[in-house]
Copies of this chain bind each other. A is one copy, B any other.
């Protein structure tokens, strides 16, 4: 055991070393983001005396900075109002196919079964959803529309596996809606008896006889001890801002140049739990946004790698494109477009090269001679019939590319690769943190990106805030019902 304040003080403290605690309550929630706010709310609703500790000066976490999509389905009122049919079964089929390989079936099943109820819960907390659909992006619309396809549900191969339905729900405001979502979720916590302690940074867990009984934290420059009679809920984010952990567990993400999260996503929540024996899962996995759309008109173009080859159907979810690019294409990809499909994208990504033919263009781009020419010729041959038998882009996006052709540089040097981590603590659907032997660690709970959630590697926008807010609720309720 090391003294608090030394360079490495993530190891747990023994409860017996603490004569008296500065704060005593039933449930401590570490972090006031998407998962923390719902955990605190659920624990307080269950009658627990709750203290939320948050290292920054306010609520929100990574969710408040995010686009704020929440993945919900099974026939929500918004889906119905927009004319889409959906069911729990189709949602489950999609997620089992899209969240793999080897996704957590029990979490996905629970997530789908509770999706409609969770929608109602969010609405009851005041989150406003506009009953309109935006077809122009697989991420957040530029308008106030409340529904988008956010996971490639309407694209190959998922449109062959489950009936497509858009499930990306957004709180009603322009562009990034995470802040609005978090206003309502943090507001909901304030309506409970929970105490919120800001500028309070959890550093170590406190353990007595194998049970987690509290937290040591730094608050306004001094160390404070907090006692939790029922449980500690870790909702402290992921580890994308910890390069050592990325190198150890998820080397491809080290190169992400536009990391998604707050500096709080430094992995400390995961590490504190590991130091009391917690198991981790899927630590290699990361979502990588590559914000090519809107406008979706651009996906009439073709994505090519450094060999001048296509590598994915362009109409799939842009996060899937980003993952493929960073994990398997060495982050060297380009979007080739013609005049009809070209508009600068919403972030200002514009064509770097424009040429009269594919052959000229590949020369300018320094792609292998003949490679892009060959790719465009094959694509156009089938595109005359609105077909793409090679990568199965949907016919609605397939037409021949006519010179002049341009290319948008989507290499790491030119475009934002925006990763966050998907791996984390191994938990039950009730939010219990499991030890290396698969048994719950008494007194310890977790949710959000501190945990491995519904996604093993495949992702859809809204699944992180979705599983954070839902499993946050479950973890808070479970902690409230736990006793020494």
Contacts and interface: CB of A to CB of B under 8 A. Distances in A.
Contacts of A310: 307
28 contacts: A2-B437, A8-B438, A10-B436, A10-B437, A101-B252, A101-B254, A102-B247, A102-B251, A102-B254, A248-B279, A248-B281, A248-B282, A250-B284, A251-B456, A251-B457, A283-B284, A308-B390, A309-B309, A327-B328, A328-B328, A368-B390, A369-B382, A369-B389, A370-B378, A370-B382, A374-B375, A374-B377, A374-B378
A121 interface: no
A11 interface: yes
* Residue in A100, A102, A391, A438 with the greatest tally of chain B CB atoms within 10 Å: A102
Interface residues of A, number: 48
A79 interface: no
A316 interface: no
A375 B328 CA distance: 20
Contacts of A251: 100-102, 282, 456-457
Interface of A: 2, 8, 10-11, 100-102, 247-252, 254, 271, 274-275, 277, 279, 281-284, 307-310, 327-328, 368-371, 374-375, 377-378, 381-382, 389-391, 426, 436-438, 456-457
Nearest to A252: B101
Contacts of A378: 370-371, 374
A332 to B, nearest CB: 13
Given A274-B436, A309-B309, A390 B377 contact: no
Contacts of A381: 370
A26 B471 CA distance: 49
**Which 3 A-B pairs have CB atoms at the shortest separation, nearest pair first?**
A284-B284, A102-B251, A368-B389
Nearest to A255: B101
Given A251-B456, A283-B283, A371-B378, A307 B391 contact: yes
Contacts of A375: 374
Given A8-B437, A249-B281, A251-B456, 8 more contacts: A102-B247, A248-B281, A249-B283, A250-B284, A251-B282, A307-B310, A327-B328, A374-B375
Nearest to A309: B309
A309 B457 CA distance: 25
Nearest to A100: B251
A427 to B, nearest CB: 13
A307 B8 CA distance: 50
B436 A271 contact: yes
A303 to B, nearest CB: 13
A328 to B, nearest CB: 5
A308 B370 CA distance: 16
